[in-house]
Each structure stands twice: as C-alpha cells, then as structure tokens.
Structure 1
Amino acid sequence: MKLSTPRYSCCLFFQLMFILCDIIFNCVSLFPRSRDGLLILFIFQDLFLVLSITSMLMTLFSTYLFQAGLVEVLTRKFRSLALASGAYVLSTLALHTGWLLQRWREPSAVSTPMLIFLFTVQRCLSPWYYFLYKRAALRVSDPRFYEDVDWINRQMQTR
C-alpha cells in the first residue's frame, strides 16, 4: 500500500501536533499548584505520548518494507528513534510518578534531589526525542519506503 500525499500530510500534521502538545505540557507542568490539576495534566501528556508513538508505528507499518517482512531495514533506519522514544517515555513516567507521589505525601514540600534529577533527565531527553521523532516522521515520507525495490535490495546487501 502506497502512502498517499494527503494521507501522509494528515499523519505528519498529527505527529507534529503531538510533539507540540508534549512541549506545551512540559512547559505548563511547572505551574499547577493542586494535585488534581497536576494529575490531569500528566494523564494528558502521557496520553499524547502514547498517541505519538502509535502514530509513528502506524506510519512505519504502512511501508512496503514492513509489509514485505523486511523489518530489519526499518529497524536499522529508525533505531535511534526507538531508543530515544523508550528513554523519553520511561523518564517521563518516572518523573510523573515521583512528582505525584511527593505531592500526595506533602503538598507544600519543596522538591527532593531525586525529583530534581528525574526532572533534569526528562528535560534533557526531550529535545533528543523531539528531534529524532520529527526527523523520522519526515524520513518515512521517502517514496523509496513504499515502492523502490532496487533501493531495498541495496539496503539488504549493506547489512
């Protein structure tokens, strides 16, 4: 199945919107004072993370390479995205868990060193995730992923 331009444009639009929403949630998460507001914000951020990864996987699954069973080529091309996505999701979940546990125990307490560490790691990983995700979203639009058999043969030979 060839990925048409309108369909790909729609997918790219949603993928970029998910990244933008994640950036906004990262910025806004510093402001809520109530535990419930923070919980809702984190639920939505995690939901958009899951949606962004699902959207990318659906785009990758629609390539000729995947449908022909050449997952190794896709894995090689998008390995950095998979690693960055996994690290970012884990760091985000760890930060959200630690932050909420601290807010539930002591609502007015200042941050602990562990929470500051998790916050720093998550914020340092986020630009890498955004960059690699956007790059992968643009790279997967290459028509060779959908039809060019000669290119696929060359990729299989360079293992």
Structure 2
Amino acid sequence: MLQTSNYSLVLSLQFLLLSYDLFVNSFSELIRMAPVIQLVLFIIQDIAVLFNIIIIFLMFFNTFIFQAGLVNLLFHKFKGTIILTAVYFALSISLHVWVMNLRWKNANNFVWTGGLQTLFVLQRLAAVLYCYSYKRTAVRLGDPRFYQDSLWLRKEFMQVRR
C-alpha cells in the first residue's frame, strides 16, 4: 500500500517533472540562438515525460486493483491519460527533432514552415491536456479505494466477471 509520506514524495516528484515540462514549453523558443542548450533542454524534457510515464505505471502496479488482477478495470479508468501521454510524448519528440533539424546549422534565421507551425500548435495543445489529465490521474491515484478491498471494488469485480 502507498503510504502517505511516500505518496507525497511521488506526487511532488511528478509535479516537479510537470513544472519542468511547462518551463521548457514556455521558454525554449527564447534560447533558439543557442541550439546546444536548446537540444539539452529538449532531451531532458523528453526524459522527464518518460519518467512521468514510468512513475504513473508504477503507481498503477502498486494498487490493490492491479494486484487483485483487475488490470483491465484500472486501465479502462485511466485510458484517456495513458493515450494522451503517449500522443504528447510522440508529438514532443517529433517537434524537437524537426526544430533542431531546421535550426541547427543557422540559429539566426527565424524558420517557421507551415507544417512546423501546425505541429507546434498540436504539441502545445496536447501539453495543456497532458498536464491537466496527468495531474488529475496522479491525484486520483491517492484515493484509498485503489489500495484496499472495498464494496466498490467487489461490485466492479462482479461486473467484470459477467
């Protein structure tokens, strides 16, 4: 079972990683003149999203629902966040690769193709949705119902058996 002190630490780590993601999304365009620094920020941002994915799955594995064998129920409850996180991760990597390919040799030029603008807008829109759904999921996983046997869980189990 996830203890309160452990949950607070995990939640703080998740929020720290989300804050870094928000910081890079907000200010990475301001340092386009230094492509090496921008590349390092992008790599750390992608690793932070990957760590958030790993942390959320570890929290899933720690629940009583998962340990009782109701994996499908758990993933059904949080499938929106799982899918959105995967889409956001793919969009972020795509945007980072495209931006670095266009700007690496000549950082002084302000290059914005139509496709890059579209990808930029989609990635930023996905970032907002990702932050909201991820925070919501992280907080919802603190619910004690997920970590102990309860009447709610037994009802869900009976519905799955039918």
TM range (shorter): over 0.9
| Total equivalences in the alignment | 158
* AA of the residue aligned to 2:147: Y
Q: Deviations over 1:51-103 (max 9, x none)?
A: 11111111111111112221011011101101110111111011001101111
Instruction: Report sequence identity in percent.
Output: 33
Distance, in Å, in 2 between the alignment partners of 1:124 and 1:38 is 21
Q: Give the match for residue 131 of structure 1.
A: 132
Q: Give the match for residue 52 of structure 1.
A: 52
Q: Give the match for residue 155 of structure 1.
A: 156
User: Any idea what SS the aligned residue of 2:87 has?
Assistant: helix
Moved over 3 A (4+): none
TM-score of the pair, normalised by structure 1: 0.93
Q: Give the match for residue 16 of structure 1.
A: 15
Distance, in Å, in 1 between the alignment partners of 2:74 and 2:156 is 10
Which 5+ residue runs of structure 1 have no aligned equivalent? Answer: none
Distance, in Å, in 2 between the alignment partners of 1:109 and 1:9 is 43
Matched-pair contact (CA < 8 Å) for 2:103–2:111 = no
TM superposition shift of 1:158: 4.0
Q: Deviations over 1:21-53 (max 9, x none)?
A: 100011121111122111111011111111111
TM-score of the pair, normalised by structure 2: 0.92
User: Any idea what SS the aligned residue of 1:31 has?
Assistant: helix
